[in-house]
Amino acid sequence: MNHDANDGRRAVIVGAGFGGLALAIRLQAAGMQVTVLEKRERIGGRAYQLKDRGYTFDMGPSLITAPGIIDAVFQAAGRRLVDYVDLVPLDPFYRIHFHDGTHIDYVSDAERMKEQMARFNPGDAARYDDFMAAIEPIYGAVIEDRLGSKPFDSWGKMLGFLPRVAKLGAWRPVHNFVARYFEDFRHRFVYSFHPLFVGGNPFSAPSVYLMIPMLEKLGGVWFSRGGMYSVVEAMGRVFEEIGGEIRTDHEVERIEVTDGRATAVRAAGTTFPADVVVSNADVGHTYGALVEPEKRRHWTDRRIDRTHYTMSCFLLYLGTRRTWPEVAHHTLILSERYRELVRDIFDRKVLPDDFSMYVHAPTRTDPDMAPEGCESMYVLIPVANKRADIDWDSVKEPLAERVLEFLEEWGMEGLRDALEVLHIFTPDDFETELNATFGNAFAVEPRLTQTAYLRPQNRSEDVDGLYLVGAGTHPGAGVPGVILSAEATYSCIAEDEGLEAQWEPATPGDVRMEPTRGPGYDAAMAELPASAGTPELVPE
């Protein structure tokens, strides 16, 4: 492919998050002249970076679960991901601490998982293989058959997909699916929490999201030395190397629509003419703030308001003068209430007295992210989005103090005395910094009625020449989902604009670093039974 070719067609992309950058690389590599407009002073979107007094923090995504999916973007530009970043495999993927003082190291190795599970429930350990065999076809549909990277742009495609969903049981809520195999509350959590990582409710998100544990099992969980922002910087560098243009400090004011077609983008007082316009901004913001109401027949203000958006997050970025080696790189600390806590966040939309949290301690893997002998961490607590009646200005300081006190009692003694850097990020900041509707953290909620064709389309239903990319469109949030959305959106643009296909359809998607299956795949598959058969299930 001739990356220097320019056929004169111009594409303008609103937002420089992972989705916008991935699509920018694909379009530029295909011969279009691409300009990315970014509101903030640096690229990254929700994958932003914070530096303060020698401490470095990833502000959003903290891990890579499918390096091969990211590498495919680099390959479209004739590059390889490993030439730009230093990837480190993590073991364990996560250490999950339960309210009763027990913990599980979540890993890909089947025997290690079964050994840990057998301590709590031998029957659950015996059903592990059956569970993995049951979710493997879901992974196969989404990743290997590329349904996650193909646009669902017609009812025909959706209706063709539904029988497969029914056969796989992928319509069931994630927790219900998992509860058929595992009895112990720990094991039910370990294999049902993944929707929370993409803003979903494990008790209502469809089991199509159970492809994530298989994605992790086969592709591993990785960290990029220097933080996830090093991947953002690498993508920006590749894009500019092949001729793309990035304009930061350019908040988009309007997408101009003439005779039903997007013709330009207005930002920072300048008009950028375009043959193709792509928005990587929050979907509610894209339609509600950037496209005039009279130009929107499907995405009316009423529909934008009635869309279900994900939860938000309360985040603390902590720089400390000492370390806690017992805290794993990725640590989950759970309260006794799981279902009720999720209900407080998603349904009741209240701020409960208790909380569960995710602690990211990258200095466990990369000490250079903090001064010598120090710790760089962030603490993430899922909270209701801004549809809740919570005054974050008055709540954030007392809540931060409660979280620090909890962590000290949990085992991080001397945390407050060692604190050198503290930054707080609330739903208000998601709304103002990221233009996130109702301060959501992960865009449009992944629920059955907002999946595939029922999500906002990769190709706008309202405006010709306007496309969406990122967490709010198909297939959804999370780094792999957002990168796959760029592939799906590229397919739409390629079809409309006659661009070259960048993926051989006969080749199954692969989450590993190499474009062909290596021995790791065969070894992982050998652990699964030849058929799921009819496993012994436990009561829900």
How far apart (Å, rounded) are the C-alpha atoms in residues 356 and 341?
Answer: 8
The predicted pLDDT at position 526 comes to 44
How far apart (Å, rounded) are the C-alpha atoms in residues 275 and 33?
Answer: 10
The predicted pLDDT at position 530 comes to 38
The predicted pLDDT at position 138 comes to 81
Amino acid, single-letter form, for residue 326:
E
pLDDT < 50: residue spans in the chain: 1-5, 155, 505-537, 539-540
Residue 287 near residue 299 (C-beta atoms within 8 A): yes
| Cα–Cα separations (whole angstroms), residue 317 to 89, 330, 388 | 24, 15, 24
Cα dihedral across residues 95, 98, 103, 109: positive or negative: negative
Q: How far is Cα of residue 82 from the mean position of the Cα atoms in its chain?
A: 21
In order, the DSSP letters of 126-184 are HHHHHHHHHHHHHHIIIIIS-GGGS---SHHHHHHHHHHHHHHTTTSBHHHHHHTT--S
The predicted pLDDT at position 156 comes to 59
The predicted pLDDT at position 516 comes to 32
How far apart (Å, rounded) are the C-alpha atoms in residues 367 and 377?
Answer: 11
The predicted pLDDT at position 248 comes to 98
Instruction: Give the DSSP letter of residue 437.
Output: G
| Cα–Cα separations (whole angstroms), residue 191 to 100, 101, 179 | 19, 19, 9
